[in-house]
């Protein structure tokens, strides 16, 4: 059974501490240029982990991931007939 996961974006002062964030969840991505880490944790433990991470001295900022809240169903999912006809002709 899969658990619901929530992403946390952690902005760091120095990437030296990125490895220590593994104890709070699964480290999915580390950006060396922008100095941030994407961590995924269980959604049931999200609030406690968010508070723990934001209180760490080497953390510049913490943001929640809004991926679960983004609507993926679009209004007009049917392609335009005129454009489709032009593509078939090679125009």
Contact by Cβ (8 Å): 68, 40: no
The verdict on residue 83 lying in a domain is no
pLDDT of res. 85: 67
Containing domain of residue 41, as a range? 5-69
pLDDT at 46: 93
Q: 65 or 86: which carries more pLDDT confidence? A: 65
Note whether residue 49 is domain-resident.
Answer: yes
Whole-number Å distance between alpha carbons of 91 and 78? 21
pLDDT at 87: 66
Distance CA 91, CA 83 (A): 10
pTM for this structure? Answer: 0.75
87 within a domain of the structure (yes/no): no
How many Å apart are CA 83 and CA 77, to the nearest integer?
Answer: 14
**Which CATH number do you get for residue 11?**
3.30.70.80
Residue 53: inside a domain:
yes
Q: Is 14 a domain residue?
A: yes
Weakest mean pLDDT among 9-23, 25-39, 54-68, 76-90 = 76-90
Count: domains in the chain: 1
d(CA 53, CA 87): 51
Report if residue 79 sits inside a domain.
no
Quick: pLDDT tens for 59-75: 999 999 988 888 887 77
In a domain, 58, yes or no: yes
- 78: in domain: no
Residues 20, 33: contact at Cβ < 8 Å? Answer: no
Give the residue from 17, 72, 57 showing the smallest Cα distance to 39.
17
Q: What is the pLDDT of residue 30?
A: 97
What percent of the chain is predicted at pLDDT more than 90? 65
d(C-alpha 6, C-alpha 89), whole Å? 46
């Amino acid at each position: 059974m899969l658990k619901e996961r929530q992403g946390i974006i952690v902005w760091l002062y120095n990437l030296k501490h990125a490895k220590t964030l593994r104890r709070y969840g699964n480290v999915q991505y580390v950006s060396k240029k922008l100095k941030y880490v994407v961590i995924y944790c269980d959604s049931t433990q999200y609030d406690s982990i968010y508070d723990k991470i934001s209180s760490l001295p080497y953390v510049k900022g913490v943001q929640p991931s809004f991926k679960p809240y983004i609507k993926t169903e679009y209004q007009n999912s049917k392609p335009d007939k005129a454009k489709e006809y032009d593509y078939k002709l090679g125009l």
